[in-house]
Structure 1
Amino acid sequence: MNNKEMEQIQALQKEITFSGAFSARGNHKQGSGSSGFANQSEKLENQVSTRFNMASGSQVFTAVAVCHLIEEGKLEFDTLLKDCLDITFPYFDEDITVKHLLLHTSGIPDYFEEETVRAYEDMWIQKPMYRMRKASDYLPLFQQKNMVSPVEAMFHANHAGYILLGLIIEQVSGMECSDYISQHVLQKAGMKDTGYFKLDELPERTAAGYIETKEGGFKTNQYSIPIKGGPDRGAYTTASDMVLFWEMLMGYKLLSEEMTTAFLEPRVSLSEYISYGYVGYIERKETEVVKYILMGYDPGTNFRSFYRLDQSLAVAVCSNKEEGAHEMIKKIEEVCIK
């Protein structure tokens, strides 16, 4: 990006008091930047190398890991849940498959219905967040509930489905889900600054998440999200690592060309212009794919990323506040494609 284009982005950062970092790289444009504070108390500024919580944006790593196991012949998309996980779900439909879980069409109950991110924060009052350290810790929140819809009847963003995918990864691989993803996805992609970190053991260059209080100030999100991320949300990354992820995925470095094609295919139509696939949300223009979209929202966390095919353009925006990433990525795309 030239100086004028960077000035436009910096002006928006100032206008919306953006706190976070961004990175963009494509055929014709590249640039990065940051603003705000990783630690407000100490006035430590965010850097391009700062790590941020991705919230549910990190589900894409789980999906890649599942597809890697399928490539190895250890699973199939049509493998039934009851055949690949030795856990009883008394009220779940027996026809649920791995594919249904990946595409959020299983119809199972979620462990949390996301009306607002603040409601998610309140959830951890009765269920202490410091006990949520592995995928199986979430089972009591949905294991005994009834189905909310028939299998394949509807698309409904469902974190419990990705908890189940994490448990499947563990049973099939014999490794903890976060370890398997780190080894077979993150390390393979060269994402050295990305991982599943505990809130009480955060590494260097990691931003605290901030929530606006009723009084107009801010508090950290350390008691508002699970202590460690899992298969459904909560990995930490840098904006530049996410750009690298897209490049490695599109270059067939994470999955074979055949599996990558399947991974990127639109599979569930959500509207005239938006579909969903194993990769996440997909924007279309008629039958042609325009871009692949990832997003995540949690208390003190706001994440957006996309890969645009016509420009071979990867963009990631990470924020340690609840607002700003959408406005930033919209402006960056505008600057890069005009």
Structure 2
Amino acid sequence: MAGASLLTLLDDIAAILDDVAVMTKVAAKKSAVIADDVTTMTKVATQKTAGVLGDDLALNAQQVAGVRADRELPVVWAVAKGSMINKAILVPAALLISAFLPGLITPLLMLGGAFLCFEGVEKLAHKLLHGKAEVKLAHAQHAQANASEDVDLVVLEKEKIKGAVRTDFILSAEIIVIALGTVAAAAFVQQVAVLVGIAVLMTVGVYGLVGGIVKIDDLGLWLGRKPYPAAQALGRFLLALAPWLMKFLAVAGTAAMFLVGGGIVVHGIAPLHHAVEGTAQALAQGSLDWLWQALASNGLNALAGVLVGAIVLGAVQLVQRLRKS
């Protein structure tokens, strides 16, 4: 009897271990599926926030421009820390909205898109309203302030950092809201994973690139002092590239504002979205119909972004005039 009881016990233990193994395999498969879903959603969210990311990169590179060479990287690091604090505030706020007020996600996306369009039109208007002479004068005044002994460079640097962190807060809010819109239907754990991943990736990516961009000219000067012709040629190339890269980032960032902002607004208005898609499909022709459709769709989204930005800018100007009067 004792032997039978022992065999029964061993059989029960074997059955339990088999069940544990099966459940472990199921859990591992579910974990793999969840991880794959999180990776996919992070990729989608990254693609949708790429436009804002380009603008964030351009704006922050411009904010740091003009700082003394030996203080550029410390300033970038200070702004990066401020950016992480911004996202530490915004990510929980976005998750709370998703949990308790999910109906606000679409209106917030629309507001973010309209704000992007407004910023883009404001940039274009600023360039049209302020000529090259005025821009050169502003640069000359800034250079004079850096060279003057009467100007407190520490205070000037702190003001730049505060301005950059404020700008980052607005752009980070747009990034988080757009990312939240892509995972609004996902489980809470997946939302947390995607938003935290986006926040970290965007901060490290943006400020890592900003740090590299602001040091391109220093790298060019360093290479130019080397006794090797190849190094000197590369140094001259980097020195020539630096201003053009900044201009390209500014143009690409502005274009991205209209593409992303206009796309968000169009997608949020069902009749307008259907009209854009229908027009894009009608313009698709030949073997490259997918290319024509993509170009037409993005072009119409950008056009809608310009119109929305112009309307918002007009409303803002009107409110400001009414306040002054």
Which TM class, normalised by the smaller chain length?
A: under 0.3
Structure (1/2) with the larger helix percentage: 2
When normalised by structure 1's length, the TM-score is 0.23
TM-score (norm 2): 0.24
Q: RCO higher in 1 or 2 (8 Å CA, sep ≥ 6)?
A: 2
**Which protein is richer in strand relative to its size?**
1
